[in-house]
Structure 1
Amino acid sequence: MDKWFGECFLRSILHGPLTHGEDLITINQVFSDNQGWNFSLISLELPLDILNSISAIPRQVYTNVENTLCWGNDISGKFNTKETYDLCLNLHGKLPPLQAPNAWIWKLKTSNKIKHFFWLCAQDRLPTKSLLFKRNILPDANCCCYSHSFENFEHVLRSCPKALSFWQVCMLPNFNSNLFQLHFLDW
């Protein structure tokens, strides 16, 4: 059984009878190199948000590696005694919980691409002209549309006149215009 997304097995969020052996279907069986995802092998109708979450999982298309078991507590998939020891201590409440200021981002119920984008914003790591200038990649940090403005992630996403016109087009009638007065990370 594969963890299809997040920290849980697909079966833990689906309720209802499955056909014989259906609970043993792996990702490799419903993903084809030529056709992508084929959910017709699953007898239950999956909710759209689950289908979208699964479809957003990036897959390595060309590989000669067979499905293997891997340790789910390490990014490499390899068993590690130190990680296991730390996990056991944490399960018994002996380690203080790690509270990174932006840990909430990784708990969002959205695709990993969007989580990564939010994390880049929160860390001020979007490849804006100001960051590329700081790293000596570009000769200046000014906005290419409005040269008097410093191009950081807030400028690109919110305060640049081009960004503002984009948001004005996208706004719903009952949209709170005071949102643009908030601190950027609260926005």
Structure 2
Amino acid sequence: MKVKEHFLELSSFNLYDSSQIRFWEDRWFGHLLLKNQYPSLYNITRKKHITVVAVFSSTPLNISFRRALVGDRLQKWKELVSEIALVQLDDQPDSFKWNLSKHGCFTVNSMYRHLVSKHGCFTVNSMYRHLVNQTALPLNKFLWKLKLPLKIKIFVWFLFKGVILTKDNLLKRHWTGDGRCCFCDTNETIQHLFFDCHIAKFVWRVVFLAFGHLQSNLLDTVMERSSKKGKRTATQVGMSISGDHSYGDFCQAR
């Protein structure tokens, strides 16, 4: 629901028959949502998701409140009624407008740019906490621009978010299978399958030694749970090779 609300906050509607537009929670009148313009009224209204056409279906307006309107709330109500008094409905269907693009149509690129400009960068946590020391990495530099197949990039992104369907996550969704790792008897988690399992550790050693970036004893230190700091050299190659390795581990485990 939060994703939907955030999406709608970045859009607006052209009002026609108003059958699909929410009176309080969609941007159809002015530049702000009515729930933000009149929070004291929105907080006590009985039907927060009511559509515009339903509100205008009767005279006076079809809006009821849980409390009597007195004082400031009464003044706000009179102000609201006065502002929307000249609204005229049409028989045509309402139209949606995406406010982040010139042509008004939604694009993934415009949404992505908005999120990057708002949040800047993300912090690598569970996936790379043994390899880097909570280093902030710009998304567009260290992931999406890598020369890897798109499915690998998406898979790595899911790893960052912790939503890969390892067995512990499946059990949370009421899966009834065996929650133990396919390679050993330890409970399978993202951390275990990709880093802590003896098979994963062995493959990481082979990969790093093959690339000549870490000595085996140093890699042992990096991969240990008790490791306090990662190595920058691990970051330099880890982002480019971990996608293939992690994706392969996951496919083999399945």
Same fold (TM over 0.5): no
Return the TM-score normalized by structure 1: 0.42
Which has the greater radius of gyration?
2
Q: Which has the higher contact order (CA 8 A, sep 6+)?
A: 2
* Bigger fraction of residues in helix: 2
